[in-house]
Amino acid sequence: MGSVDGPRRELRRILHGGVPQWVTPSEDGSELLLPDGWRVDEGSATYLPPCDPAKILCIHLNYESRRIEFRAPELGEPTYFQKPTTAMNATVASPIGRPAATTSNTRGNSRRSLVAR
């Protein structure tokens, strides 16, 4: 079995009592379960990004449609830029993968980033 096969447990990171905590949503999602057994109402939780990165590196023009849009020349090697660590967002939404390539959705491009701890 590979590392992505099998059952998964959803974890979220919140601020609880001034301290970052990893929590698990309850069966119905109305509460968040802390490791020490305490429960927090999901609606009152302050969500944090999933990590505290030391550095965020991104790839410039990583999709051909973006390169064409910016009229940039073809590059043999990718170029990179750094984003501030405050660019990390907190969310409770499910991760969204890159949409399938379609001719009607050329603006659906996403950024690929490397988060360094």
pLDDT in tens, 6-61: 777 889 999 999 999 999 999 999 999 999 999 999 999 999 988 888 888 888 77
**3-state DSSP assignment of residue 85:** helix
Determine contact, residues 13/32, Cβ cutoff 8 Å. Answer: no
- Do 62 and 106 form a contact (C-beta atoms < 8 A)? no
| The CATH fold of domain 10-48 | SH3 type barrels. (2.30.30)
Is the sign of the CA dihedral 55, 117, 16, 89 positive or negative? positive
Planar angle of CA 9, 10, 16, nearest 5 degrees: 125
- Domain layout of the chain by residue ranges: 10-48, 51-89+111-117
Residue of higher predicted confidence among 108 and 89? 89
